[in-house]
């Protein structure tokens, strides 16, 4: 492909989109953080910890919260089994950056540069990575070209081709073939993803199926708010608890109407509502108040009685742990055509899960759960009745949650398979030296 034409087209798109970006910066505060890093300025905190001849760098790119969570266990295992390597993580979104800094240390985290040669080269020169790992499907042409030219190896982990992106990839496979040849290893989630990768130009010998890293996630360490809420709910005799996570625009109205129906039979019920995007917190709070439902924002809640009310989770990084409080969990992005969000977090807590019928982004996970009767899939019209039925039948609700937890346990192991495959891309000398057992034997 012509990298000059690609870079020119990207510059034009960015220029035409400038009014939108400025609006997002001014109105919602998005994209302002890390602007210099995105434009190629390597942050001092990264340079202060820079790689040396004795400590090689592995650069992992995880776009947002979902990808950061997916690679968390992998990064932990890299640090344990490859102590002479330093793992640094880049993200694109602010929420992903905040979570990555919390999990991996701010000194190891930075914003992903825009895909121009002049913004990528400073990072390659500063970090001199031995291996670059991309989570899921981040096929940035200039990045791949420059990393390959630097001599570093490239791997895509947890690789997937979603139903939504599949038609576009096929349409442009003539250009993708040249881009994908720079990638040394594709570690796909499923056999279907393997087939799709090969059909758009990935060399079949470089594609392996290692499973989905998200099945190996350890449950999030509960923040203090979880225990505070647990005590408050028990003291008040509040329940049942409905946790609605990662909701998007146009989902809250039907969810709140369903909650009103639930309150008829369960007047002390509480909904914990977690919008997916922070810039919508105020909008959702106003919506709840318009429906004359008492609403507390998590950031201002000081122990007030929650029976019959909505607790709006206007925080980042707490939802996964709060699923543990749920009698029923609804996972958003699925009542409207947004492709859905990951159901693994509530499943880890053995919670009964309900989703809408738009789950294309997680088709394989949802299909697996559905095959084991471990999830309920509903339309907007079916939502209120399904929630009321589950809350009225303790035995079925608990069995649904148990089946979800069992499904998770049956799918673990992707992290170890992925790490072993990545080690094959590292120089034999560094892998051997990083193995404490081998090092001890040779001393």
- The string of DSSP letters for 272-313 reads EEEESSGGGHHHHHHHHHHTT--EEETTT--S---TT-EEE-
* 253 in the same domain as 204: no
Q: How many domains is the chain built from?
A: 2
**φ/ψ of residue 4, rounded to 5:** -65, -45
Q: Cβ atoms within 10 A of the Cβ of 68, count?
A: 28
Give 379's pLDDT tier (boundaries 50, 70, 90): very high
> How confident is the model at residue 246, as a pLDDT?
96
DSSP 75-127: HHHHHHH-TTEEEEEEESSHHHHHHHHHHH-GGGEEEPPPSSHHHHHHHHHHH
Q: Is the pLDDT of residue 366 over 60?
A: yes
Classify residue 217: in a domain, yes or no.
no
Classify residue 178: in a domain, yes or no.
yes
Give dist(CA 191, CA 208) in Å, integer: 9
Q: Is the pLDDT of residue 13 over 90?
A: no
* 420 in the same domain as 348: no
Q: What is residue 135's three-state secondary structure? A: strand
Q: What is residue 425's three-state secondary structure? A: coil
Classify residue 8: in a domain, yes or no.
no
Q: What is the pLDDT of residues 262-300, one digit of tens each?
A: 999 999 999 999 999 988 999 999 999 999 999 999 999
> How confident is the model at residue 10, as a pLDDT?
83
Q: Is the pLDDT of residue 403 over 60?
A: yes
Classify residue 9: in a domain, yes or no.
no
> How confident is the model at residue 6, as a pLDDT?
83
Q: What percent of the chain has pLDDT over 90?
A: 77
Q: What is residue 185's three-state secondary structure? A: strand
Give dist(CA 401, CA 352) in Å, integer: 4
Average pLDDT over every residue of 163-192: 92
Average pLDDT over every residue of 256-260: 97
Q: Does 113 or 18 have the greater pLDDT score?
A: 113
Q: What is the pLDDT of residues 89-123, one digit of tens each?
A: 999 999 899 999 999 999 999 999 999 999 999 99
> How confident is the model at residue 316, as a pLDDT?
81
Classify residue 265: in a domain, yes or no.
yes
Say if CB 108 and CB 86 are below 8 A apart. yes
Q: Is the pLDDT of residue 70 over 70?
A: yes
In eight-state DSSP terms, residue 412 is: -
Q: Is the pLDDT of residue 217 over 60?
A: yes
Average pLDDT over every residue of 243-271: 97
Lowest-confidence segment of 17-26, 168-177, 180-189, 305-314 by average pLDDT: 17-26
> How confident is the model at residue 359, as a pLDDT?
95
Q: Cβ atoms within 10 A of the Cβ of 287, count?
A: 18
Q: What is the pLDDT of residues 33-64, one digit of tens each?
A: 788 999 999 999 998 764 444 579 999 999 99
Classify residue 216: in a domain, yes or no.
no
The CATH number covering residue 50 comes to: 3.40.50.11720
- Which residue, among 279, 254, 259, has the nearest Cα to 269 in the 3D structure? 259
67 in active site: yes
Q: What percent of the chain has pLDDT over 70?
A: 92
Torsion of CA 283, 285, 289, 293, to 10 degrees: 140
Q: Cβ atoms within 10 A of the Cβ of 48, count?
A: 8
* 343 in the same domain as 266: yes
When the pLDDT of each residue in the chain is averaged and rounded to a whole number, the result is 91
Q: What is the pLDDT of residues 302-346, one digit of tens each?
A: 999 999 999 999 988 899 999 999 999 999 999 999 999 999 999
Give dist(CA 207, CA 278) in Å, integer: 37
**Alpha helices (runs of H) in 280-349, residue ranges in sequence order:** 281-290, 319-322, 344-348
Classify residue 47: in a domain, yes or no.
yes
> How confident is the model at residue 61, as a pLDDT?
98
* 360 in the same domain as 427: no
Q: Is the pLDDT of residue 189 over 90?
A: yes
Say if CB 153 and CB 131 are below 8 A apart. yes
* 402 in the same domain as 432: no
Give dist(CA 206, CA 179) in Å, integer: 14
Classify residue 28: in a domain, yes or no.
no
Q: Structural domain of residue 312, as residue ranges?
A: 224-409
* 241 in the same domain as 121: no
Average pLDDT over every residue of 428-434: 50
The DSSP H or E segment spanning 376 is strand 376-378
Q: Is the dihedral of CA 419, 411, 364, 111 positive or negative?
A: negative
* 418 in the same domain as 402: no
* 185 in the same domain as 74: yes
* 206 in the same domain as 286: no
Q: Is the pLDDT of residue 157 over 90?
A: yes
Give dist(CA 148, CA 140) in Å, integer: 12
The DSSP H or E segment spanning 164 is none
> How confident is the model at residue 27, as a pLDDT?
66
> How confident is the model at residue 248, as a pLDDT?
97
* 108 in the same domain as 88: yes
Please pick, among 67, 251, 252, 345, the residue that the annotation labels catalytic. 67
* 400 in the same domain as 419: no
- Which residue, among 170, 324, 304, has the nearest Cα to 241 in the 3D structure? 324
* 433 in the same domain as 354: no
- Which residue, among 79, 85, 97, has the nearest Cα to 37 in the 3D structure? 97
The CATH number covering residue 325 comes to: 3.40.50.2000
Give dist(CA 297, CA 291) in Å, integer: 16
Say if CB 377 and CB 357 are below 8 A apart. yes
Give 32's pLDDT tier (boundaries 50, 70, 90): low
Average pLDDT over every residue of 126-134: 97
- Which residue, among 416, 429, 438, has the nearest Cα to 130 in the 3D structure? 429
Average pLDDT over every residue of 132-156: 96
């Amino acid at each position: 492909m012509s990298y000059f034409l690609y870079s020119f087209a990207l510059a034009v798109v960015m220029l035409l989109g400038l009014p939108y970006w400025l609006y997002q910066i001014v109105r919602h505060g998005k994209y302002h953080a890390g602007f210099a890093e995105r434009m190629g300025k390597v942050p001092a905190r990264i340079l202060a910890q820079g790689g040396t001849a004795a400590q090689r760098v592995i650069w992992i790119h995880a776009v947002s919260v979902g990808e950061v969570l997916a690679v968390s266990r992998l990064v932990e295992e890299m640090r344990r089994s490859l102590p002479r390597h330093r793992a640094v993580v880049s993200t694109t979104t602010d929420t992903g950056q905040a979570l990555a800094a919390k999990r991996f240390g701010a000194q190891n985290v930075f914003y992903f540069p825009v895909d121009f040669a002049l913004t990528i080269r400073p990072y390659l020169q500063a970090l001199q990575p031995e291996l670059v790992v991309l989570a899921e499907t981040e096929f940035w042409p200039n990045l791949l070209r420059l990393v390959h030219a630097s001599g570093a190896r490239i791997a895509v982990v947890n690789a997937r081709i979603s139903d939504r992106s599949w038609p576009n990839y096929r349409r442009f496979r003539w250009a993708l073939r040249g881009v994908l040849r720079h990638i040394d290893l594709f570690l796909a989630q499923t056999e279907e993803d393997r087939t799709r990768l090969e059909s758009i130009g990935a060399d079949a010998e470089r594609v392996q199926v290692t499973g989905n890293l998200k099945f190996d996630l350890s449950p999030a360490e509960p923040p203090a708010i979880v225990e505070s809420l647990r005590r408050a709910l028990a003291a008040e005799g509040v329940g049942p608890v409905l946790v609605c996570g990662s909701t998007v625009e146009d989902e809250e109205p039907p969810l709140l109407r369903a909650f009103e129906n639930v309150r008829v039979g369960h007047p002390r019920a509480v909904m914990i509502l977690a919008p997916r995007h922070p810039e919508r917190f105020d909008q959702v709070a106003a919506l709840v108040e318009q429906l004359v439902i008492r609403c507390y924002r998590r950031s201002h809640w000081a122990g007030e009685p929650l029976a019959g009310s909505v607790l709006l989770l206007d925080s980042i990084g707490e939802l996964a742990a709060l699923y543990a409080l749920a009698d029923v969990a609804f996972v958003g992005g699925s009542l409207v055509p947004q492709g859905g969000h990951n159901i693994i977090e509530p499943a880890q807590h053995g919670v009964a899960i309900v989703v809408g019928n738009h789950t294309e982004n997680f088709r394989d996970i949802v299909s697996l759960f559905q095959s084991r009767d471990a999830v309920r899939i509903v339309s907007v019209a079916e939502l209120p009745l399904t929630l009321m039925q589950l809350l009225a039948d303790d035995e079925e609700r608990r069995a649904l949650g148990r089946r979800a937890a069992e499904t998770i346990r049956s799918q673990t192991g992707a992290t170890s398979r992925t790490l072993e495959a990545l080690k094959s891309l590292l120089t034999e000398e560094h892998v051997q030296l990083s193995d404490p057992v081998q090092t001890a034997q040779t001393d």
